[in-house]
Structure 1
Amino acid sequence: MSSINVLPLLVLVLLLRSLQSHQIFTMAEPEDLIEKTCKTTLYYELCVASLRSNSSSAKADTKGLAEIMIGIGAANANETYTYLSSQLLLLLKGKKDSSTSATAMTRNKVLRLCAERYFFASQALREAVQDVELMSQDYAYVQVSAAKDYPNVCHNAFKRVPGLPYPAELARREENLVQICDVATGIMDLIAWDQK
């Protein structure tokens, strides 16, 4: 009779252990998906760090990870737009205090162009998130590619003006956005686009 009482207890213990191990496996899956996905991109560390910094990544599928990464790019481009706008304000403030020089006017013009391009990059990436959500493959790739190229337009504007150095902070921001776009494209390559 005592062996009959032990059997249900043993079954219960085995069932609980089975559930616990299933729970642990289920919780580890998103992390595995992030790492598995990021291994296919050009910038593994950037990919993993960026996706892990967003709490939505834990429950996202590959399409969701692409949307998150593109959103990170949009935020990055918007932050650079804000930075450039603040630099323009500082330049304009300085113009009031001193005489207007050709160099200051040229720098102002180039910074405006750069701010505009980063704004366009931010918009393109926001549209790319919607395109991924709607499974519009071609549009998503075009938007991310455009966003990746906008910083280059800014860089080239500085190159065209002799004696106007490309700011190190802007070079860092350009490189970061380009890498984020490369990672986003790498993740988009994994989406099963034909399954709407």
Structure 2
Amino acid sequence: MQTQRSPFGQFDIRRYVDIFWKRKFFVIVPAVLVIGATVFYVSYRVPPSYRAYALIMFQEKPRFVRSVEGYIVEERDQRRLGAIRTRIYSQEFLDKVITSMGMNNDPEVRSRAERMKKDFPDVSLEELVTRILASRLRRMISVKGERGNPDIFRIEVVAPDPDFAARLANTVADLFVEERRTAQMQSLRAASDFAVEQL
């Protein structure tokens, strides 16, 4: 069965296997060289990435009856996580992060903003700088829920510099906690004022 008839004569599979086996280095050596060159390129040309994260506990008082809570907890947690992501990725919040970390003085970003200014003459240079930086931050920051505990979420940062990654994760967490505390204080004041008015 090794030999098959073809219109051009005999076809011997063993013969082609022997030819390939004798010239195997013509296939193996280039494959090894390509793999080696790829590994070299990736290890020396692609910058390393460092991951840092901060955990935040976020508890809300339940506003519904206990018996109903079991049915809508998961949906509530997903909505809450979505609201947290929306807030952290918002331009207003990222502007605070940029200012707090002093990122708007980066000369590379400023020169890029100056080049973009020609295309956007109505937008100020400072606004272009913050838009560029906010876009970068959105790619670096991710917000995830912690498995097993819906009251804890993780702010994760991936950046080429480990110190920057840690500082950014901590800054985002600190600013978010500060915002929540301020919002809670305002809510308490409003409730207190309402109670006083009712008396």
The TM-score with structure 2 as length reference comes to 0.30
Q: Which has the higher helix share?
A: 1
The TM-score with structure 1 as length reference comes to 0.31
Larger radius of gyration: 2
Q: Which has the higher strand share?
A: 2
